[in-house]
Amino acid sequence: MIKSIESMNLKILYEDNHLIAVYKSAGVLVQGDKSGKTNLMDEVKAYMKIKYKKPGNVFLGLLHRLDRPVSGIVLFAKTSKGAARLSEQFRNRSIKKIYHAIVVGKPPKQKDKLVHYLKKDTNNKKALACEEQIAGCRRAELEYRLLKTKNNFSFLEIKLASGRFHQIRFQLAVIGCPIANDVKYGAGKNFIGSKNITLSATGLSFQLATKNEWKNISIPVLPEWKQYFDNE
């Protein structure tokens, strides 16, 4: 049983009366599932219960998700007002999302905008391409910028315009540059600097729930990624 905030392995990136942003390590679930394994929502609820001495259940609104093998920033709502206002920002795409990734190979262009239409294969838990006209297909859009290349790997900055299932993983694989270690999309376990897929949510910009003010949250890329590309 957790008895103090100091004993928790939780990195708080931002917190106000309505919102809380935390760091998710690769391999951690955002939300609990039937496996019963540790998840980020339960950890944040435990933190809030201790910090604010809350009896009973703690409200925590799930605003977005990161895939289990992806690291980075996750934003939650602490109140129903925060949940409603930030959910609207996610729906109308006013929130700005930045990712960094290491991919296999080199993209065909220094920078580009990718647009595909995707659907979710629930049986295989994969994203699939489909025609725009087919029911269930959703537009997926991102922009990437090539930062560095070394050996057979490239380091990319990605601006995500939509938030589809496995979107970044699928779209980069389509152009022949799957995210390193992403076996599901054809990369293989080929980047020795990490055992997880090399994708991280490194930036999030949004309007605060009760103020006409924008909050920008950013985190550095993982040290092992930086070390790989900086060591020549």
* % residues pLDDT > 70 (the chain): 95
- Which pLDDT value is given to residue 111? 97
CATH of domain 5-230: 3.30.2350.10
In angstroms, rounded to a whole number, what is the distance separating the alpha carbons of residues 57 and 187?
42
- Which pLDDT value is given to residue 192? 67
Whether pLDDT at 209 is above 60? yes
Query: pLDDT band at residue 178, thresholds of 50, 70 and 90?
Result: very high
Q: What does the pLDDT look like over 67-88, one tens digit per residue? A: 999 999 999 999 999 999 999 9
90-94, 166-170, 226-230: least confidently modelled range = 226-230
- Which pLDDT value is given to residue 55? 85
Query: pLDDT band at residue 64, thresholds of 50, 70 and 90?
Result: very high
Q: What is the mean pLDDT of residues 196-218?
A: 96
- Which pLDDT value is given to residue 124? 87
Q: What does the pLDDT look like over 29-38, one tens digit per residue? A: 999 777 777 8
Q: What is the mean pLDDT of residues 204-225?
A: 95
- Which pLDDT value is given to residue 193? 63
Query: Which two three-digit tokens encode residue 203?
Result: 């930036």
Q: What is the mean pLDDT of residues 200-225?
A: 96
DSSP per-residue letters across the chain: ----GGG----EEEE-SSEEEEEE-TT-BSS--TT---BHHHHHHHHHHHHTT--S----EE-----TT-EEEEEEESSHHHHHHHHHHHHTT-SEEEEEEEEES--SSSEEEEEEEEEEETTTTEEEE--TTSTT-EEEEEEEEEEEEETTEEEEEEEESS--TTHHHHHHHHTT-PBTT-GGGT--S--TT-SS-SEEEEEEEEE-SSSS-EEEEE-PPPHHHHHHHH--
Q: What does the pLDDT look like over 103-151, one tens digit per residue? A: 999 999 999 999 999 999 888 889 999 878 788 899 999 999 999 999 9
Average pLDDT, the chain: 91
